[in-house]
């Protein structure tokens, strides 16, 4: 069964636990290894979607780029407790442009 994971700072991810999602509160130092483990199903779990807090995404940019053309997992950037950095919107714009062939947003 495919699952959904949320990865980011404790303040950001704990609300998602109430929704039944798997949450992974991480710091920047452990973020890369956690993302790899979730994306490759190293713990036996199969995640279709991994939400990543934008603060971590800035640090994990090259790692996230490895998965942008794969079907699963879909890595979606979400704003952190301090608001949006605009990274999620930029990633969405780039994905739409790749799919459609031009920037329609």
Q: Answer yes or no: are the C-beta atoms of 6 and 21 closer than 8 Å.
A: yes
Closest by CA position to 54, among listed 64, 66, 68: 64
Question: How far, in Å, CA of 100 to CA of 75, rounded?
Answer: 19
**Averaged pLDDT, 76-88:** 70
Residue 104's pLDDT band, with cuts at 50, 70 and 90, is low
pLDDT digits (tens, 9 = 90+) for 33-76: 999 999 987 666 789 999 999 888 878 989 988 888 888 898 98
The predicted pLDDT at position 89 comes to 59
What is the model's pTM?
0.78
The predicted pLDDT at position 47 comes to 92
The predicted pLDDT at position 93 comes to 63
54 SS3 class: helix
User: Hey, which CATH number is domain 2-100, 3.40.50.1220, 3.40.50.10580, 3.65.10.10, 3.40.50.360?
Assistant: 3.40.50.10580
pLDDT at residue 5 greater than cutoff 90:
yes
The predicted pLDDT at position 2 comes to 87
Domain boundaries, the chain: 2-100
């Amino acid at each position: 069964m495919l699952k959904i994971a949320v990865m980011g700072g404790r303040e950001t991810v704990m609300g998602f636990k109430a929704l039944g999602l798997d949450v992974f509160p991480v710091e920047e130092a452990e973020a890369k290894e956690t993302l790899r483990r979730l994306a490759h199903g190293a713990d036996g779990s199969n995640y279709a979607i991994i939400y990543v807090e934008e603060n971590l995404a800035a640090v994990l940019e090259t790692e996230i780029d490895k998965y942008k053309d794969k079907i699963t997992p879909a890595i979606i950037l979400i704003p952190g407790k301090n608001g949006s950095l605009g990274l999620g919107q930029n990633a969405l714009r780039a994905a739409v442009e790749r799919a459609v062939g031009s920037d329609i947003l």
